[in-house]
Structures are given as structure tokens and as C-alpha cells.
Chains A and B, each alone.
Chain A
Amino acid sequence: MARYLIKRILGMCVVIFLVLTIAFIIVRLAPGDPAALMLGPDATAEDAAALRSQLGLDRPITAQYLSFVTGALQGDLGTSIYFKQPVVSVLAGRAEPTIFLSLFSLVIALVIATPIGIYAAYRRGSLLDQGAITTAMLAASIPSFWTGLMFQRYLATDLGWFPASGYGAPDASFVERMGYLILPSIVLGIVNSALILRFTRASMLDILGEDYVRTARSKGMTERRVVLRHALKNAAIPIITVIGLTFALLVSGAVVTERVFNIPGMGNLVVSAVLRRDYPVIQGALIVVASLYVLINLLTDLLYLLVDKRVKY
């Protein structure tokens, strides 16, 4: 157990180190002089030289890499060219809507997908099962931004059920701000429910085929009890896994959904950063999100140990 933990944590450190390296390389891959690119065509040679030394681009590449990695490990992801502020605080300033959008949509997706997935597995082959699978596949095929635009037009603009876009006035209260996230969360929740539904159904099918389920049935236990007492408990594990897996999907979805609904979150920030050639912000967002993904997946693996006593490492 302790050995497994150490191994996993070491593995995670290696992966995070590689994440940093990849993020470093991606930005260095930019053709031409990054400083000139960032400043645009009107910049003078002196401006470019000043920015180069500010960014440390005039030092040898290995020195740049070392200071980048040591900085990142201490929570220093560089300075935004556009905001002239540390990347970490720029990202943190935009984190609130992204975090709540992701959380709400995850809850919505779980609330939609897990009961349907379990019921579909239980009534395998029924009309409801086939309908659920087809709907899930359809939901996974529709671009999330398209669903977002449609909902925005028909549910927000035409019917006026939800605010159409934005995140409230700068002095809007927390509750008011969250109100702006309802429709985007529904959109993102629907998209993410597809994966969770398929996953829950598949793992429930596995469990329903297990020996102990047959034993419970042959003891004369009612189907309801079999499903609720025996199968459901064991379905917790795959549901935990899928939360880890959907994280990447949630973030990708949030980037696009924030753009649709004009929510000033991290996704919108990254897209604007691309248009402004603010590379440190793009790099910082990549590092933060990928590190979170690695961390969340480590945590879900560790949760296994707590939930399922059979899992031994």
C-alpha cells in the first residue's frame, strides 16, 4: 500500500515534469522571434530587445528552461504580456466562473446520467435502454457550442427563461452571478452526461453479471433490493473513475461554452490570449489544467482504495 502510494506519487511527479516540458516546448516552437510576435508589426527593435531580456529570451535555452521549471514549481508561471501581471493571478482572477460552471455541469450530468445508466442496464435491451444509448450517442455527436447557441436563441432570447449571456454587472452578487451560469451548465451537463451514461451502463452490466448478484437473486431477494443493495454500491467505483475522466472533457467544454455565453472565465481568457499572442497565459493555463487533471486522476485512483476493499495494490 505505502509502496503503491509512493510509486503513484513519483509517477505523477514525472508526468507533471513532462507537462511543464511540453508546455515550454510548445511556446518555444513558435516560428520567429517570440518577442516581435508578441509586440506586433509596429514594434521597434529596441522594444523587442527590451521584451526579450524581460522574458529572459536572450539567455541560453537550457538556462531559460531551468528557470522556467524552477519558477513553475514555486508557483511562478511568468508574466502576462497583455495584463502585465503574474500569469497565476490573471488565471486566478478568472477562475470563479470556470470552476462553478464545471461543478454545476458535472452535478447536472451525474443527476441525468447515473440513474438512467443504471436503469438502462437493469432493463437491458428494452426500449428505454435503446433510447438512452441512442440519445447518449447523439449528445456526444452534437458540437456543444451549437447546442449552446440554440439554447441561447430559443430558451434565453425568445422565451426569456435565462439570461442570454454575460456574468452580471461588476457589482453583481454571488447568487446573481451564478444565475448566469444555469443555462451554460445545462448545455455542458448534457454534453458530459453522454459519456457518464455509457460508462455507468457498461459497468452496471458487468456488475449485474457477477456471481454475488446471482447469489442474491437465487436467495429470493427482490430485484429492487438486488439492484439497490448489491449492484449500486459497487457501481460507485466506475462513477468515481468517470469523474476523473470527464475533467478533461469539462474543461474543453467550458472553454467553448464560456465563449458562447460570453462568460469571463479561464476559457475565454485563453482564447483571448491566443488572439493577443499572450503566450505566457496560454502556457500557464495548459500547465494549471493538465496538473489538475493529473492530480484528480491520482485522487480518484486513491478513492478506489477507500471504496472497494477488494482493490489491493
Chain B
Amino acid sequence: MAAPSAASPDANFLALLFSRRAVLLALIVFAAILLLCLFAPLVAPADPMKMSVRARLSPPGGDFLLGADAFGRDVLSRLLYAGRVSLMIGLGVAALASVAGVAFGLLAGFFRRLDGPISRLVDAMMAFPDILLAIALVSILGGSVVNVIIALAIVYTPRISRIVRASTLVIRELPYVEAARALGSSTRTIMFTHVLRNILSPIVVQATFIFAYAMLAEAGLSFLGVGIDPKTPSWGTMINEGRQYLDQAAFLIVFPGLVISVSVLALQLIGDGFRDALDPRLAKDL
């Protein structure tokens, strides 16, 4: 662990974050995937929707670096465009679940009367396995990108809420909060200025993991055929489409599976890195 330095806390954080090679590598890989997908229109070698009968199921190599699918569409280009959808769903779920989770968690941690009902509700929500609850919600809401984001955000909000509540309960008893209260700060100021700011690190860590889980869950829902519209390319729908050709053209499934796995692995490593850098006390394992 780095020795305490006089540098600003931010510089210290970055130094700690980058001190682990695996985390640094994960950040680079994830940033590369993010940028490639973001700039898909510029970097994609072909139109992801352009069909060609002659190119049907072309193996990787030649004109099609990663092969062509059953409609002769370029797999690499589709992967890049599909990544935009998959990453957007991951990010959207992480953001939405964080906002909602912070709201519920702060309310439960601050107001004793609300704690019981909110905590029991969180317990009940967490009793549902995530995919099963997401399936039920999507089946009711209907399968669109926005609805999948909403459904998965509902699934993951309790996780954030639980962490925020636990941290709030600890922090609101600390002397500086007491001091702020004695100085006449309003509950709202204490909640947002003193407490929220100090529990940001566990929230960021958890949100990173939820980003990863949400991408896995989206892929799962799409694979089951109950996620987003199968015509919208996402990494999950690509696997679902390629499944029919598992025996002839496994590459249709191999590549989307690899990008999902690499992205999720990178996110998990980044989450671990954030956790260790933001709170060195937690860095006891690994």
C-alpha cells in the first residue's frame, strides 16, 4: 500500500488505482471497448445491417474479420453496434439503480419510522432471483431497451439501498454529524452534504458491479427471448440469433460471448480496484 503522502486525495486515489496492473489493464481494455462501440459508425468495417446472400455464414478471416452471420452481415460491425446497446443498458441500470437506491437507503438510514418498512421491502425484493424477477417485470412492461433498463434497475435497486442504509446508520452517529446538527444544520443538509458525500465510495463500487451484472442479465434475457426486441442487435440478441447455427458456425456465438465476458471481467476488476483505492481498509484480500 502507498505511504500516506501530502498529495491531494484525488491524486492519491489515482495512484492507488493504477498501482495494480490488473486494474490498469482492465481500465484500458474497458475504455477501448467503450470507445470502439461509441465510435462504431467510424470504425466499423461494414454496415451492420447490410445483408448478402453470398456471404452467408462466412467463417472468420478474409473479407469478414470475424465472419458473417446467417444473413451475410459482418459480425465485427454488428458487435460494435450491438455493444452500444449492451453498454447503454449496463450504464443505464447502474445509474438508475444508484439514484433510486440512494433515495431509499438514505430515507431508511435517517428516519427510524421508515427503516422498518423499507428494509423489509428490500428483503422481500432480494428474495426473488434476479433473472426471474427481471423476466416477470419485462413480461409485464414489454421488451424494449428502456423497459429492460427499468426492469433491471428495479431488480438491483435493493442492493444499493441496503448498502446506503448500512453506511448511513454508521455515519449519522459520527461526531462530525453530531457537530453539524448542533450547529443547526437542517436534516437535508446533513443528509446530502455530510452523509451522502461520505458514502459515495461504496455506492460507486457497487454501481460498477451492477453495471457488470446488468450486462450479464441483459444477455441472459435476450438469450431467453424475453429481453429487448430481437431485431435490435445487442450482444445477448446476437448469441440468441446465432444459437440455431451452433453446430455449423459456432463463431457467431463465440465472439459476442467473448466480448461480454471480457467487458464484465474488466468491470469487476475495476470495481475491485475502486474499492481498494477508495477505502484501503477494505483491501485485505487480493
Please report A residues at the B interface, Cβ cutoff 8 Å.
Answer: 11, 14-16, 18-19, 21-23, 26-27, 29-31, 133, 137-138, 140-146, 149-150, 152-153, 157, 201-202, 205, 248-249, 251-252, 255-256, 259, 270-271, 274-275, 277, 279, 282-283, 285-286, 289-291, 293-294
Contact = CB atoms under 8 A, between A and B. Distances in A.
Interface stretch (B10-18, B37-45, B192-200, B246-254): B246-254
Contact of A143 (B133, B135, B220, B247): B220
Contacts of A251: 129, 132
Q: Which applies to chain B's interface (DSSP): helix, strand, loop or mixed?
A: helix
Given A143-B261, A290-B128, A293-B129, A271 B268 contact: no
Contacts of B53: none
B246 A153 contact: yes
The 6 closest A-B pairs by CB, nearest first: A18-B124, A146-B257, A141-B265, A290-B127, A252-B131, A141-B264
Given A26-B137, A140-B268, A149-B239, A271 B225 contact: yes
Contact of B257 (A21, A133, A142): A142
Contacts of A282: 135-136, 139
B125 A271 contact: no
Contacts, number: 144
A73 to B, nearest CB: 16
Contacts of B181: none
A142 B239 CA distance: 13
A271 B226 contact: yes
A275 B247 contact: no
Given A141-B265, A256-B223, A149 B139 contact: no
A278 B10 CA distance: 53
Contact of A27 (B140, B219, B239, B269): B140
B286 interface: yes
Given A143-B257, A293-B129, 16 more contacts: A15-B120, A16-B124, A18-B120, A18-B123, A31-B140, A137-B269, A141-B262, A142-B257, A143-B219, A143-B223, A153-B247, A252-B130, A252-B220, A255-B129, A256-B220, A289-B129
A279 B136 CA distance: 9
B284 interface: yes
A153 B132 contact: no
A146 to B, nearest CB: 4
Which of the listed residues B129, B137, B268 has the most CB atoms from chain A within 10 Å of its own CB? B129
A282 B133 CA distance: 9
A285 B128 CA distance: 10
29 contacts: A15-B120, A19-B124, A26-B137, A27-B136, A133-B286, A138-B261, A140-B268, A141-B212, A141-B262, A141-B265, A142-B264, A146-B219, A150-B250, A150-B253, A150-B254, A205-B284, A248-B128, A251-B129, A252-B130, A255-B131, A256-B223, A270-B135, A274-B136, A289-B128, A290-B124, A290-B127, A290-B128, A291-B127, A293-B129
B285 interface: yes
Greatest chain A CB density within 10 A among B133, B136, B138, B212 is at: B136
Interface residues of B, number: 47
A166 to B, nearest CB: 15
Given A30-B140, A141-B268, A255 B285 contact: no
A222 B253 CA distance: 50
A252 B261 contact: no
Interface of B: 120-121, 123-133, 135-142, 212, 216, 219-220, 223-226, 239, 243, 246-247, 250, 253-254, 257, 260-262, 264-265, 268-269, 284-286
A249 B250 CA distance: 27
Candidate in A16, A146, A249, A275 with the most chain B CB atoms within 10 angstroms:
A146
A285 B126 CA distance: 15
Given A141-B268, A251-B132, A294 B220 contact: no
Contacts of A26: 136-137, 140
Contact of A149 (B120, B128, B220, B246): B246
A143 B226 CA distance: 16
B253 A146 contact: yes
Contacts of B127: 15, 19, 248, 290-291, 293-294
A145 B265 contact: no
Contacts of A249: 129
Contacts of A15: 120, 123-124, 127
A18 B239 contact: no
B120 A205 contact: no
